[in-house]
A and B are shown apart, each in its own frame.
Chain A
Amino acid sequence: MNELTQKLSDQGPRLMRASFRWRDLGDSRWLGYWMVTPAVLALAGLILAPLLYSTVLSTYSWTLLEIRLPKPFVGLMQYSTVAHDPLFGEALKTTGLFVVGTVSVELVLGFLIALALLNIHRGRRLANGIILLPMIVTPVIVALIWRYLLDPQFGLVNYAIHLLGYQQDIPWLGSNSLALPSLIVIDIWEWTPFAILVLHAGMLAIPDDLYEAARVDGAGAWQIARHVILPYLSPLILVVLLLRTMDTYRVFDTIFVLTRGGPGTSTQTVGIYAYENGFVYLNMGYTMALSVVILIAIVVISLFYLRLLQRRPQW
């Protein structure tokens, strides 16, 4: 223990405050506080304060053009409207389908591809690089690329299907039943690389001894995957689930560019619905209430995952 810390522990925080000197920063317990202060301030200023203000504003009835006018206080009426809004219920269902459809396939596909990569020794880096490409493209650009790929008349996808002998133009984004699955496929194409990246890194971190021990015990490839790799990766799987669920729950850009929630309301997610209410109808009080409800749902889902993460079996 150096001289300063000895003095601090002997004479308490009062002296600690009095004896603070910039040059002692690196040695004192102040350092930790100083280092987290900017982050805490930024979080409070940019996230917590607006969040609290939004919650307050959700108890008033007002439109975007009435910011400077007195706003009538309506209490929890907006929340009651949200609870009874059939369009919000529909948007919630669509979002649920989108989240389950994308996250489950991305995870399974990501795991299988990561496993395959583990067994590739030549060209693994190149394969990794190529696989990551969709993830690094801007989502709006991804949407525009797919808009042309899925065009019923001029798109490459229908062209390929025509070559296979099916001569009908398939309206991928222009049909109530196909639009949501098409958007799910696009999201899977874009974000499976994320699951691959995380899970593959996790697989590479598994000690070789474990594989060797399993092989010595007579385990085959499937048994190694099931009893060695999967348990070891469970925390990473939960991280992928958590991040992708949060991300897909608030999906907006791709859907906005491709279908804008249509046809009808078949691809209207909660994000699109909140946007319509806020920036088309300018109904901000209601949109704030919608946003708070959406946020609470994300927090609940995240807490569930985090709890699972804490309960995972320890190696």
Chain B
Amino acid sequence: MRFRSFRSVSLLIGLALSLAVVACGGESSSGSPPAPTKAGTPVGKFPGATVNLIRWAGDPWEAATKDAATRWGQTTGGTLNINAIPYENLQTKESLDLSSGTGSFDILYVHPTWFGQYASAGGLQPIDKYLSDGSMNPSGFSSSEYIPSILNQGKFNGTQYCLQDQISTILVAYRTDLYQQAGLSAPTSWTDLLTNAPKLAKPGVAGLAIPGKAIGDVSDIMSSLITAQGTWWFNPQGKASLDVAAATKAVQFYIDAGKLSPKGMLNMHYDDVTTLAAQGGAAQVVTLSTELAWLNDPAKSKTVGQWAYTPLSINGKAGGELIYWNWCINKSSKNPKAAYSFLQWYTGTSEQAKFAPKAATGAATASFYTDQTLAQALPFLPAMQQALANSNAQPSLATWPKLQDQIEHDVQAALSGTTTAAQAAQAMDQQLKSTLGT
């Protein structure tokens, strides 16, 4: 009898110990902290949990993620491995992981144009319940801290899958010294860019530089140009809704800007035109806001401190495409709570502000844009806010990658003189209608 009691007590103790070990041992536990965590600190304890993250390689962003991963690990007890690979291979690697269901990567960095493909195939983990779970977020946290128009981009069929960072848009940078020398006032519309360019041009300095390479750049710029005119590729129901007259105007601007640009613009990426501008080869440049930090980086620029910024505007109305990246959790992740803990913390203002001055990227949180220190470090932030006040987000329809290619080829055909602006706009409209319907 005594022996049986002893065995029962041992079993109970063993069970209690096992539960304690499991409770402390990572993902199968609630992962919640004993006390509310303050904002700016990762939430949860995940000892023994390993989280694998995949993203594109490139500093300062890659270094920032690695640094954050180390600090997240120190606070939570988990291990976060960063797999930084070339951008060109990212989609393939993620697609293979999602389709095979192996869950090799818990956290995926997802371009908007891939998001629709991944979400519609059921490859991503919903995060609505995590966002609303008090135990998985810092005290006082609410998902309303994210700018709704940005947060909504991570939704598919009403379910939230991703959080965003790397916010950027298309902006114009212009040389204040050259404007002053030419006696010109600051440009307020894109027609000003075209009329001022010949007055600013001189040997070795193009009046205007705009990228024309069909790897997303052309589509981003076209999106900004049509947004400023109050139209978009499709309506909220996902059906084609392009205003052909506005698209014609946008393509015409592109053609005119292309004529004022340096030779070879059809093979120029954002990097190329920004490098050219930083080296003093262009008086005005249309580029991605992320690239603008180069212009004032003494290591990369001969024109430091000579730049001012403005959005692409027409008839007094600025417009921009909301460009961003999604952080999503793999449906097959073995540690989704730990993955969420990292993402919630990493996409917050405090972490994003750490690398924003170097990276020139914005966060998805509202408080990021009211930070005075950041405003000083990022002189183009007001222009960016102005552009994003009237913006459309980079499309994430599953059919968008092919449509984007077609739109870019239509614009390139007009830029090389094969078609007119009106013909290019008509072609885009037809392709949108045949793919998305009306």
Name, among B100, B121, B264, the residue most crowded by chain A CB atoms within 10 Å (CB to CB).
Answer: B264
Question: What is the CA–CA distance of A152 and B267 in the complex, to the nearest angstrom?
Answer: 10
Q: Which residue of B lies closest to A62 (CB)?
A: B99
Structural contact, B264 and A281, CB atoms closer than 8 A: no
Interface residues of A in 17-67 (CB under 8 A from B): 63-67
Q: Let me know if B266 is at the binding interface, CB within 8 A.
A: yes
Interface residues of A in 158-190 (CB under 8 A from B): 168-176, 179
Structural contact, A169 and B262, CB atoms closer than 8 A: yes
Q: Let me know if B409 is at the binding interface, CB within 8 A.
A: yes
Structural contact, A264 and B402, CB atoms closer than 8 A: no
Partner of A176, one of B96, B98, B120, B416: B416
Structural contact, B416 and A65, CB atoms closer than 8 A: no
Structural contact, B263 and A169, CB atoms closer than 8 A: yes
Q: Let me know if B401 is at the binding interface, CB within 8 A.
A: yes
Which stretch, A113-121, A217-225, A255-263, touches the partner chain B?
A255-263
Question: What is the CA–CA distance of A280 and B92 in the complex, to the nearest angstrom?
Answer: 8
Q: Taking the nearest CB of chain B, how far is it from the CB of A187, in angstroms? A: 17
Question: What is the CA–CA distance of A262 and B265 in the complex, to the nearest angstrom?
Answer: 11
**A residues near B263, Cβ cutoff 8 Å:** 152, 168-171, 174-175
**A residues near B264, Cβ cutoff 8 Å:** 151-153, 169, 171-175
Structural contact, A64 and B96, CB atoms closer than 8 A: yes
**B residues near A135, Cβ cutoff 8 Å:** none
Question: What is the CA–CA distance of A263 and B92 in the complex, to the nearest angstrom?
Answer: 24
**A residues near B213, Cβ cutoff 8 Å:** 260, 262
Structural contact, A171 and B267, CB atoms closer than 8 A: yes
Q: Taking the nearest CB of chain A, how far is it from the CB of B17, in angstroms? A: 39
**B residues near A152, Cβ cutoff 8 Å:** 262-264
Structural contact, B267 and A263, CB atoms closer than 8 A: yes
Structural contact, A179 and B95, CB atoms closer than 8 A: no
Partner of B276, one of A66, A153, A176, A259: A153
Structural contact, A174 and B265, CB atoms closer than 8 A: yes
Q: With contacts A168-B263, A174-B267, A279-B92 known, is A262 near B412, CB below 8 A? A: yes
Besides A171-B265, A174-B212, 11 new A-B residue pairs in contact (Cβ under 8 A), listed by A number? A64-B99, A68-B99, A151-B264, A152-B263, A152-B264, A174-B267, A262-B266, A264-B413, A280-B401, A281-B401, A282-B95
A-B contact pairs, 9 of them (CB 8 A): A67-B100, A69-B121, A174-B212, A175-B263, A258-B267, A260-B214, A263-B412, A264-B412, A264-B416
